[in-house]
Amino acid sequence: MRSGTLLKTIATFLLVGAAGLVAQENENGRVLYDRWCAECHGAEGLGDGSAAASMLPRPRTFSQARYQVRTTGSGQLPTDDDLMHVLNVGLPGTTMPGWPNLSDQQKRDVIEYIKSFSRFFAAGPAPEPLDFGSDPGGGPEALAAGAQAYLTLECEACHGAAGRGNGTSAPTLEDWRGFPIRAADLTEAWALNGGSSVNDIHTRVLTGLDGTPMPAAIDAMNSGVVSPDEVWQLAHYVASMGPRERPRLREVVRVERASEGLPQDGSDEAWGDIEAFFFPLAGQVIEVPRNFAPTVDGIWVEGVHDGSEMAFRVQWNDPSRSPDSEWDEWQAKILATMDLDGFEAPALDSTGAVTVRWPDAIRLQFPFEVPDGAERPYFLGGTTRQPVYLWTWSSNDGVGEGRGRGYGSVEPLPGELQGTAEWQDGRWTLYLRRPIAAGADGLTFSEGVPIPVAFSAWDGSSGETDKRAGVSSWYYVLLEQEPSNAVVVTPLIAILLTGAFGLVLVRRAQGRARA
Ligand code: HEC
Ligand code: HEC
């Protein structure tokens, strides 16, 4: 009897202890969740946290348990490893961050907690990953087969021929909550939610992205429309559509000195030899009305000059060629969905139909005078006291120059800037040309002197106008000098030289000490 009591005591202790431990774990998960996740995902996991209305895509609704980055079949729950992966690296291209600062145990706790929002996890057996087979490899033939599978499986309908998210169905897409959703720009693989490797892309294509219109290719594969190898080749093809890694950000656009003539337009082959510089854009969220989910998330800039004139090519991806009535439904949905933060959208009539269509636009902004030190005008379009010198382009009005005293206040200037723009397959190419010396108003560029520059972009079909822009911070444009020129030491070069000379001096001193 006595040993029975002891056993009972031990059993009770274990049970209570274990229960206490479980409660403790959930408590840890809850505390972590409330602290780090609830602001976006909502206290009850409904995807409705206080910051959610400014986001596109919206934070996940955990009570519904529809997950995108899975190794499991379409419509199935993710594995714990899948969720751990998302917590480790986040979802690139969205506001969902990675959580490298949480310990593995903390991540496991918070995963248990988000699973508890849905009864599905407790109901069934643990989800199992699919068998993904093995990659037959890439190469030109694989890419050709992949391109064919892209057509066979009608990826183009949403993602467009070049993969920039401009397919004919793109303006109508919405997620399971009815929010507008962009068909991913496959040429920016670094911003794909589930990663940019061939493996990652293969997994996403095969399993689909639950809760979005992106279908799972596994059904087409199982019914023989495409073979398992062709799905791998499709993944190789998608991965080849653009750079895998986010282009390295450099501070300075180097404007090369042309050995012979300037390129004549945006499609001139001479651009092929000129280095392109990538600058990321972020939503303008400092002044109201803010724009939390800008369409244009980066631009490429190339420049060349011949000592008297300079030419630039500016390129950026925008799936709509605004103004375009095909995108009315999209525009109406964006304006109805997003937190417009004081922006009076005159674009919808009482029936919710679009009445205003804005153009696409871009601005390059410079100071009127080359600053001595690091001082530059206010980066959001200048101010009354310190205006900015602008190169403007819009799909309605073409190219112009202007004096900017804040976003809404642009006074046109008579200038010699010329340019043309062309939209093709979800990408704008803008060609700009101007004498290096300015006319009456404007900025005279000088060779070898870094000139501050900043960029803004607008996608009219997403209701972007005025302050609802995508913006960059200040960078530099540097016109290369003729090699024979005397060395003019500019501030930027001085900084670089100081570093380099410093190193030389240290090396010399070390050498001497050794000797
Ligand atoms: C700044 C906002 C933000 C915060 C903070 C945030 N998330 Fe998210 N999260 C998102 C958004 C937005 C998505 C959906 C992105 C999409 O649909 O592509 C998301 C999606 C997810 C997903 C779904 C992944 C999938 O495969 O579908 C999980 C899991 C997740 N978040 C967990 C968390 C956890 C856990 C925390 C806290 C440690 C957290 N999130 C904090 C914004 C946030
Ligand atoms: C009905 C429209 C539609 C079709 C057809 C479609 N997709 Fe998508 N796809 C989408 C949407 C929408 C997203 C973005 C989902 C998001 O933002 O979370 C997407 C996302 C993706 C992604 C990014 C996954 C990630 O990690 O974020 C890849 C890769 C992709 N699609 C490839 C394909 C391929 C290949 C095909 C053809 C087999 C295809 N898609 C067919 C709508 C579609």
- For the chain, which residues make up each domain, given as ranges? 2-123, 140-239, 252-483, 485-515
At residue 370, does pLDDT exceed 90? no
Q: Write the residue with the smallest CA distance to atom 39 of ligand 2.
A: 155
- Which of 1-15, 197-211, 433-447, 453-467 is predicted with the least confidence, judged by mean pLDDT? 1-15
Q: Write the residue with the smallest CA distance to atom 40 of ligand 1.
A: 37
| pLDDT score recorded for residue 509 | 46
Q: Which residue has the higher pLDDT, 107 or 485?
A: 107
What average pLDDT does the structure give for the chain? 89
| pLDDT score recorded for residue 515 | 45
- Determine the average pLDDT of the residues in 376-385: 93
184, 68 Cβ separation under 8 angstroms: no
Does the C-beta of 37 come closer than 6 Å to ligand 1? Answer: yes
Q: Give residues (CB < 6 A) around ligand 2.
A: 57, 68, 153-155, 157-159, 169, 173, 181, 183-184, 186, 192-194, 201, 204-205, 209, 212-215, 217, 234, 238
At residue 54, does pLDDT exceed 70? yes
354: pLDDT confidence band, cut at 50, 70 and 90? confident
Tell me the C-alpha distance between 368 and 187, whole Å.
36
**Rounded distance from Cα 159 to ligand 2 centre (Å):** 7
CATH of 252-483, one of 2.60.40.1190, 3.40.50.1240, 1.10.150.120, 3.40.50.300: 2.60.40.1190
What CATH number has the domain spanning 2-123? 1.10.760
Q: Which amino acid is at 132?
A: F
Does the C-beta of 99 come closer than 6 Å to ligand 1? Answer: yes
* Full 3-state SS string of 30-94: HHHHHHHCHHHHCCCCCCCCCCHHHCCCCCCCHHHCCCCCCCCCCCCCCCHHHHHHHHHHCCCCC
DSSP readout, 424-486? Answer: ETTEEEEEEEEESS--SSS----BT--EEEEEEEE-GGGT--TTS-EE---EEEEEPPPTTSP
Does the C-beta of 184 come closer than 6 Å to ligand 1? Answer: no
**Rounded distance from Cα 89 to ligand 1 centre (Å):** 11
What CATH number has the domain spanning 140-239? 1.10.760.10
The pLDDT tens digits of the residues spanning 312-325 come to: 999 999 999 999 99
2-123 and 140-239 agree in CATH topology: yes
Q: Write the residue with the smallest CA distance to atom 5 of ligand 1.
A: 37
Ligand nearest to the CA of 42: 1
| pLDDT score recorded for residue 490 | 58
Q: Write the residue with the smallest CA distance to atom 22 of ligand 1.
A: 60
| pLDDT score recorded for residue 491 | 58
